[in-house]
Amino acid sequence: MDQVRGSQSLIFSQAPYIISAASVAGSKEGEGPLAKLFDLVNDDDLFGAQTWEEAESNMQKEACTLALGKAHVTAEKVRYLFGGDLLRQGIATSMGVEALQIPMFGLYGACSTSGEALALAAMSTAAGYGEYMLAVTSSHFGSAEKEFRFPLGYASQRPLSAHWTVTGSGAFLVGTRKSHVRIAGVTVGKIVDYGLKDSQNMGACMAPAAMDTIVQNLHDMEREPDEYDRIVTGDLGYVGQSILLDLVRGKGYDIRKLHLDCGMTIFDQETQDTHAGGSGCGCAAVTLASFILPKIEKGEWKRVLFVPTGALMSTVSYNEGASVPGIAHGIVLEHC
């Protein structure tokens, strides 16, 4: 039990590595600030498919294949796959990873799913349950608008607090083979509910969960914020960031200079009309794969707390007047 820290965290006595990562992104992401860092950008957002859902599945398959290829590992060598997406019944993942034929655990953590998948892949590797594990998540603007809001053809107006769902998929090969990035520990998130009900303001809904996980990580690990080079949230966006910084300050910590949000990084707010920022399971995943991991690999950042954030809602819960609680999982990434 020496790996257990505080009430929610683990520090791995044998930390697993992120051996390789891959990012697949859509056309709008390919016009944004991270354009040149993605492994694959497709101008056709249907990714050769007939439907948005199948397009999302194709992205997942492509991201997994790329991550495996970079590490020269075949799918048969991967012990377990942990994957998820935003769609009802996680259908993009089921259809996306089917061809790989890897024993799999389907996950749902809304936009926090990349953290959930990385945590379970790391936990399974550190426990000696296999040499290689795959973590994959995705989101697609077309399928997400159809799932949660209106058909694209309606051209609905969106409030400035609304996010733009990222079209993208990130895959991560986690395992025992040494690389320059290790998953040193995790902080598993609790559901945090401040009673907010506005699904067009997800940043506000998720910020309390991000605060809770970040503060819990600092307590559990007995660290000060500046022991991290960056604290990276998933998709709080501009609205959520200001709330997060306030809430964290209320707990006695100042993370203003350390904080970075994937949803604010992936799009250029001024030129891309993306309002509060990017969101979706793919947002944090592709930003991690393309932008954050290379910096840790090179040693530019020595230790990063990666905290993807999810808003737990469905169209049914929204229509029934339920609140939108949040959840966030913390992944401690270290250069090695």
Report the residue count for the chain.
336
222: DSSP letter: T
DSSP string, 292-323: IHHHHHHTSSSEEEEE-EEE---HHHHHTT--
User: Does 191 participate in binding its own copies (rule CB under 8 A)?
Assistant: yes
d(CA 336, CA 331): 15
Type of residue found at 216: Q
Q: How far apart are CA 216 and CA 59, in angstroms?
A: 34
* Binds its own copies by CB under 8 A, chosen from 27, 48, 74, 127: 127
Q: Which of 29, 39, 45, 54 binds its own copies (CB under 8 A)?
A: 54
Under the binding rule (CB under 8 A), the answer on residue 94 touching its own copies is yes
Candidate list 126, 173, 211, 218; residue touching its own copies; CB under 8 A: 126
Residue 74 as a binder of its own copies (CB under 8 A): the answer is: no
As measured in angstroms, the least distance from the Cβ of 322 to its own copies is 6
Residue from 37, 40, 46, 322 touching its own copies (CB under 8 A): that is 322
Handedness of CA 84, 333, 231, 192 (dihedral sign): positive
Q: Is 242 in the site for its own copies (CB under 8 A)?
A: no
- Residue written as token pair 């377990």: 80
Question: Is residue 194 part of the contact set for its own copies (CB under 8 A)?
Answer: no
Determine which residue in the list 158, 177, 193, 194 makes contact with its own copies, applying CB under 8 A.
193
- By CB under 8 A, name the one of 104, 218, 248, 296 that touches its own copies: 104
Nearer to its own copies, 214 or 260 (CB): 214
Residue 145, H or E segment: helix 141-148
Positions of E strands within the chain: 4-5, 9-11, 17-25, 40-41, 80-84, 104-107, 132-139, 164-165, 168-175, 181-187, 230-233, 259-261, 278-279, 303-307, 309-311, 326-328, 330-335
Which residue from 24, 87, 232, 262 is in contact with its own copies, where contact means CB under 8 A?
87
134 is a contact residue toward its own copies (CB under 8 A): no
Interface with its own copies includes 152 (CB under 8 A)?
no
Judged by the rule CB under 8 A, the positions of this chain that interact with its own copies are: 1-4, 7-8, 10, 50-51, 53-54, 76, 79-80, 84, 86-91, 94-95, 97-98, 101-110, 116, 119-120, 123-124, 126-131, 146-147, 188-191, 193, 312-317, 320, 322, 325, 327
